A and B are shown apart, each in its own frame.
Chain A
Amino acid sequence: MDAVGPYTVSFSPLGDRVVCSGDETVLAAILRAGAKVVFGCRGGGCGACKMRLVSGLVDYGRCSSAVLPEEEKAAGWFLSCQARPLSDLEVELTAANKYRRLSAAYWPTFG
């Protein structure tokens, strides 16, 4: 796949945004921006980093069907450690994601 972008990924309900190049996963962009979320194996096998897409398109990457079955994909779920954006994205964070801004490094990329 040709890397295109960069795209903007925005997170509701906080409104935080990160820039994500087309060849970067959503999780990698979040961590690079200085924020933190729950993730596990980073290989698409455990499902700990699952997030819900409100709008936009992703390349799902290689995910275990045991943790991300087709019906969950259809309902908007994706694994942030595998998914790469194909457009700007709006992602709804849940309590399970435990999203938090960790470091001062976050602020320059915010807004």
Chain B
Amino acid sequence: MPYRISRLGTVEIRSLDLDRDLDYYVNVLGLQLTAREGKTAYLKGWDERHAYSLVLTEADRAGMVRLAFRTVDPEDLDYYESRLRKFTVKYDVIPEDYRRGRALRFTAPSGHVVELYNEMDYTGNVLPTVNPAPWPEGLKGIAPPRLDHTLVTAPDPPKAIQFFQEVLEFRVSEMLVNPEGVPIAAWLWQRPSPHDIAIVPGRAGGFHHAAFAVDSAEALFRAADILTMHKARIDYGPGRHGITRGTTIYFFDPSGNRLETFGGYTAYQMDPDCRAIKWTTDQIGPAVFYYSQELNETFLSVYT
């Protein structure tokens, strides 16, 4: 089966104070500010080729507004439209959005607004396209190269997991299975990586975190140092997940949305023949936080 989704293209997150939070996203997290239009700002990692990957919108609450996947080819959007029809999923066609072409918008059984799109303005990354250096000098903050994945909460995880598998054709890389054999959490991929989206139990529409790639051990500890220098609230880490093997720091933006640095140097590459790895709920501690081997107080209860 070919994969038709190239990446988690965009997440839109609510900010309680856009001026304050933009300062954090640009100078501490170190994203590139693409544009600001009134109460909304568009940002991206330095190595991302399209116009933006993170949208911040001022609101009276925190949390996620929507998430959007970019398809590999334009025809894949038509393919997904036919699948939404086949599974009688109600959807809207969004003719255009900021620097983006046609999108399909629907609400997943997890309660999240999900969009599929293909066209977004190709801006290139911050490096030249001819004879480039491997990385740009003079970046601020943690400066992750790109958005990696998101984790969301669902009141009925098996139903939400099944939707992403059947309708959108994501595959499960790893899952957490209760004693009855029911998957209560799953890590789902299309791009050859551990996950593009993951689902854990919780409120409908809940936003657990968005993760940005931080690939080396050196970059991981540098990121933790920068967060601490700026007195950011670190939730967990630097550490490692058992699930995905990725390295992690969980931390919060100033409005209380959880973010993550997710490490590629131990996270694996998926192959079309990879089968799902199973974790049992009695091992949820090392599954989530490999070194402490236990969940902290906030993992399953604190999200926006």
Contact = CB atoms under 8 A, between A and B. Distances in A.
Contacts of B235: 40-41
B256 interface: yes
Contacts of B297: 38
Interface string B271-304: 0000000000000000000000000011001111
Nearest to A68: B61
B255 A45 contact: yes
Interface residues of A, number: 15
A66 interface: yes
Given A45-B16, A45-B63, A64-B16, A40 B301 contact: yes
B233 A43 contact: yes
A60 B282 CA distance: 40
Given A46-B303, A48-B298, A64-B16, A41 B60 contact: no
B304 A46 contact: yes
Contacts, number: 68
B301 A66 contact: no
Q: Which of A42, A64, A67 has the most CB of B within 10 A?
A: A64
A84 to B, nearest CB: 16
B255 A66 contact: no
Given A40-B298, A40-B302, A41-B252, A67 B233 contact: no
A62 B63 CA distance: 15
A64 B58 CA distance: 11
A46 B233 contact: no
A12 interface: no
Contact of A48 (B60, B253, B301): B301
B17 interface: yes
Classify the interface of chain B: helix, strand, loop or mixed.
Answer: loop
A66 B207 CA distance: 13
Given A62-B17, A64-B60, A43 B255 contact: yes
B60 A42 contact: no
A41 B61 contact: no
B223 interface: no
Contacts of A42: 233, 252, 256
A94 interface: no
B252 A64 contact: no
A13 to B, nearest CB: 22
A62 B15 CA distance: 11
Interface string B2-26: 0000000000000011000000000
18 contacts: A41-B252, A41-B257, A42-B252, A43-B252, A43-B253, A44-B16, A45-B63, A45-B252, A46-B256, A46-B302, A46-B303, A62-B17, A63-B16, A64-B60, A64-B61, A64-B256, A65-B60, A66-B62
Give the top 6 A-B pairs by smallest Cβ distance, nearest first. A45-B256, A45-B62, A41-B256, A43-B256, A40-B302, A66-B61
